[in-house]
A and B are shown apart, each in its own frame.
Chain A
């Protein structure tokens, strides 16, 4: 019986394709036409329906489908184009077979629905899993990239190291920050570690807690931690939330933090030439002349 239905569908593929394309265009002409040219839409439609027919014809073989799915994912077609297309195919085919049937009792009806489902569902499942697979791999790649960016440590000078933090800090990242900070402090033999939170948009109790913990841990390994880059609004939230940051030094900007880091390591920045003096010298020489 299955093959009979299959024969009906395959034998009348032209008609079904025509109906299907009508259906798809009716559904989606206003959705994709803005970004995708008409020819491309047509050719993709034709290709899609071919792939559907091929996979209905030889049940189980997914090579064509895989190819098609890969290409369409690379192209960035939305998933709902495919699911809507498959839904349209189900509607069109069911209608078509039912119209062609001489006898229409409950049994026959059930058979038609079941066999159409048997063709359509594996394809839908396959396409959706291909799509979600590609999303998952993208997400995991991005996660890795984010992790690489999340806690850089820059040894700017003998004994002074800076960790600029950008973006939101969650528990996972805070852990990474703390580990990198401590490992780095020991590796670079850093007496002073500056944590720059200029790029941290929100400092709530949790973020503050993580930062305080990191600072305490840094103190335990034997370095000093200075928190720099505290913007006015951050200062306000910190005080309003009742967070006590008095235990370790804080500075408004990296420059000031660096200054006190130099003081802690008993160093200072010296101008090699005094600009004021130079001016005076020049004026002197002019006067002499």
Chain B
């Protein structure tokens, strides 16, 4: 099983997912991230999905959960770099990730995060 690295940058946590997530890795990632938020007291999280080509409904649900869990722990999450194919799949599956902020790339994601935290 792969562990997804979580990098800390000031108050933010950066995660770049570069493998196709399987169910176990996703759950492990969820636990790791929440632990990390707890340890570091991070206020913002950027999850970059640029290299993810396939997302199934379970992974999508986990991602959605991670976002609302992190929110509960006081860290805003932005998803970045969702690929067109992935977006189409998610919409077709009826997963709209309604309250999840998204951005085109990491840079815009960080800007968005700062805006959201300032508000």
Binding site for B on A (CB under 8 A): 178-179, 182-183, 185-186, 189-191, 213, 216-223
Report whether B104 and A178 are in contact in the complex, using a CB–CB cutoff of 8 Å.
no
Decide: A222 near B80, CB < 8 A? Known: A189-B105, A191-B108: yes
Please, which residues of chain A bring their CB within 8 A of the CB of B91? 213, 216-217, 220
| CA–CA, A220 and B86, complex, Å | 9
Closest A residue to B104 by CB, please name it: A222
| CA–CA, A179 and B85, complex, Å | 8
Report whether A216 and B96 are in contact in the complex, using a CB–CB cutoff of 8 Å.
yes
Decide: A220 near B104, CB < 8 A? Known: A178-B88, A179-B84, A213-B91: no
Decide: A221 near B105, CB < 8 A? Known: A178-B88, A179-B88: no
16 contacts between A and B (CB under 8 A): A178-B88, A182-B84, A186-B83, A189-B104, A213-B91, A217-B84, A217-B87, A217-B88, A218-B87, A220-B97, A221-B82, A222-B80, A222-B81, A222-B82, A222-B103, A222-B105
Binding site for A on B (CB under 8 A): 79-84, 86-88, 90-91, 96-97, 102-105, 108-109
Please, which residues of chain B bring their CB within 8 A of the CB of A182? 84, 87-88
Main secondary structure of the interface of A (DSSP, over half): helix
Closest A residue to B112 by CB, please name it: A222
Please, which residues of chain B bring their CB within 8 A of the CB of A186? 83-84, 104
| CA–CA, A178 and B84, complex, Å | 9
Closest A residue to B92 by CB, please name it: A213
| CA–CA, A183 and B84, complex, Å | 6
Distance in Å from the Cβ of A204 to the closest Cβ of chain B?
19
CB < 8 Å neighbour of B84 from A189, A190, A219, A221: A221
Distance in Å from the Cβ of B112 to the closest Cβ of chain A?
8
| CA–CA, A182 and B87, complex, Å | 8
| CA–CA, A183 and B88, complex, Å | 11
Please, which residues of chain A bring their CB within 8 A of the CB of B103? 222
CB < 8 Å neighbour of A220 from B82, B105, B108, B109: B82
